[in-house]
A = this chain, B = another copy of it.
Amino acid sequence: MRAVQCSFCGTAAFYRREYEGVSLCQKCFKRSIEDKVRVTISEHKMFGPRDHIAVAVSGGKDSLSLLSILSKLKTKFPLSKLTAITIDEGIQGYGDEAISLAKAMAESLNIEHRIFSFRELFQVTLDEIVKRQTKLAPCSYCGVLRRRALEKAARTIGAGKIASGHNLDDEVQTALLNILHGGVERLARTGPVLVDPEQRFIPRVKPLCGLYEREIALYGYLTGIEFQRIPCPHRNRALRNDVRDVLNALEEKHPGLKHTAYSSKLKLGDLLGDRKIRLNSCKICGEWTGRDLCEVCKILVQNQKLECLTREA
């Protein structure tokens, strides 16, 4: 019996990429992942040669792989700049490991690393918020605050772009959740590149949006990236987990289905995207919002109210 050969270099293959019908050796696999990121960046015109990019690094496999790959690609763009940003949400027994992994990776790549905390930016931690506010899932509060925190962080360091490690699975899951769980208008606001034509927000890009989650995990393993393996203690995403399982099962039987689904999502986003949203200044913080108060201030105001009630009780 002959071993399966790498479709590119002919040495022994270790991985079968079913959706492309190719077999890959470790070296060609790693290169293919980096190539795919390069193609995604170029296809969506994510970066210019002089960009200062704030890379959101949580300490998970996706964001650490992103930082590592961008740092390799940067060698061809000497006038560009990368800064790793880690948001410390204030999650006991979870945040510290994530931060030290992010810090170690940035150091090893010789990239400046900055930490911004919910405590410092919003005077409250995520643990405190989810102890008081239970109307929504913890991830909903965290998502709103993290987005704002990254925006503030990028402005503080003078970055012109924010890059995050969202992968193909994340994007397809979110799209499907928006459909299965309501919220289709969000499809227009979750593309690989989010640019505000009126420049009120710093552009956000997702260079890993074409990569399967499991291939990033494999890439991380092969390149020796140390990433956080324990899940966030607040994580409770019943429907998202089900949607993940469902998509994985469908992909298994119909290789490439996640890619087709992602193309559909992008097409829908384009078709829906023409409708401009009028934004006002939030009456509390002055940030742009579709309502009177922005989502961040709504959370913080509610938190203050509940804090006062607890004190009075």
Residues of A that sit less than 8 Å from B by CB: 175-176, 178-185, 187, 238-239, 242-243, 246, 249-250, 253-254, 257, 260-261, 263-265, 267-268, 271-272, 275
Are A179 and B264 in contact (CB-based, < 8 A)? yes
Residue of B with least CB distance to A178? B264
| Additional A-B contacts beyond A178-B264, A182-B264, A268-B272 (8; CB < 8 A) | A176-B179, A181-B257, A181-B260, A182-B263, A185-B267, A187-B268, A239-B254, A242-B249
Residue of B with least CB distance to A260? B182
A263 to B178, CA, bound (A): 11
Contacts A267-B184, A271-B272, A272-B271: A250 and B260 contacting too (C-beta < 8 A)? no
Query: A246 is contacted by which of B175, B182, B250 (Cβ under 8 Å)?
Result: B250
Identify 21 residue pairs between A and B in the complex whose beta-carbon atoms are under 8 Å apart, listed by A's number. A178-B264, A179-B264, A179-B265, A179-B268, A180-B250, A180-B260, A180-B264, A181-B257, A181-B260, A183-B264, A184-B267, A185-B267, A238-B253, A238-B254, A239-B254, A242-B250, A242-B253, A243-B250, A246-B246, A246-B250, A272-B272
A246 to B245, CA, bound (A): 10
Query: A242 is contacted by which of B180, B182, B187, B254 (Cβ under 8 Å)?
Result: B254
Complex contacts, A254 vs chain B, CB 8 Å: 238-239, 242
A253 to B264, CA, bound (A): 26
Residue of B with least CB distance to A188? B271
Query: A257 is contacted by which of B180, B183, B271 (Cβ under 8 Å)?
Result: B180
Residue of B with least CB distance to A268? B184
Complex contacts, A268 vs chain B, CB 8 Å: 179, 184, 187, 268, 272
A56 to chain B, nearest CB (A): 28
A169 to chain B, nearest CB (A): 14
